[in-house]
Chain A
Amino acid sequence: EAQVTQNPRYLITVTGKKLTVTCSQNMNHEYMSWYRQDPGLGLRQIYYSMNVEVTDKGDVPEGYKVSRKEKRNFPLILESPSPNQTSLYFCASSFYAANTEAFFGQGTRLTVV
């Protein structure tokens, strides 16, 4: 089954404790991206990747890191989480062609206390 798999789905952590949210897709998509969703703000892009070893900042990259060592995986790293990073996070992937849709993971609800 074609899918984007995100883990974990829920995470509660403490301020400053490094964490990684994993994202993997099995559709051979070139494009992968991370978003955070906050009430009233919609989906804001954190980072994106056009292909392996190619990543770039989105609209809200501060406090986040990503890597794209393999085509299928695009982990999101929070080196020192803070309470303002409490949010719902989505990973998405797509083919490079602009007429193709984005496929989304199930979302990760992160709470930083």
Chain B
Amino acid sequence: AQTVTQSQPEMSVQEAETVTLSCTYDTSESDYYLFWYKQPPSRQMILVIRQEAYKQQNATENRFSVNFQKAAKSFSLKISDSQLGDAAMYFCAYRTPTRNQFYFGTGTSLTVIP
């Protein structure tokens, strides 16, 4: 079964601090792609960052970075210098070449405290 687990339904962080959102997945495939999406109150789904499973180097996009541990099937998102605009629901997802489906987690609601 292809599953994605986000074990933290809600998290909070002080403005300017760092927070890490966790994500684990279950797949028997060796080749796949991982994504983090942000959903602010506007409801729009926005891609934050992506990671290719064959790459050992962790992806980074400005204040957003991932900690990808393939053996542990873990793909956490680290947000540095948190800003009020980072407050949103965050979804982890992955996609495999064989089935080409996107599998999403249940989301983590992030609150940023001024």
Contacts and interface: CB of A to CB of B under 8 A. Distances in A.
Interface of A: 31, 33, 35, 40-45, 48, 50, 58, 88, 90, 92, 94, 96-99, 101-102, 104, 106-107
B47 interface: yes
Interface of B: 6, 9, 31-33, 35, 43-45, 47, 50, 52, 91, 93, 95-97, 100-102, 104-107
Contacts, number: 54
Nearest to A96: B100
A10 B36 CA distance: 26
Nearest to A88: B43
Q: Which 5 A-B pairs have the closest CB atoms?
A: A42-B106, A104-B45, A43-B104, A98-B97, A107-B43
A45 B95 CA distance: 13
Contacts of A40: 9, 106
B47 A101 contact: yes
Chain A, interface SS category: strand
A65 to B, nearest CB: 19
A86 to B, nearest CB: 16
A101 B97 contact: no
A42 B107 CA distance: 6
A108 B94 CA distance: 24
A45 B100 CA distance: 13
A31 B33 CA distance: 16
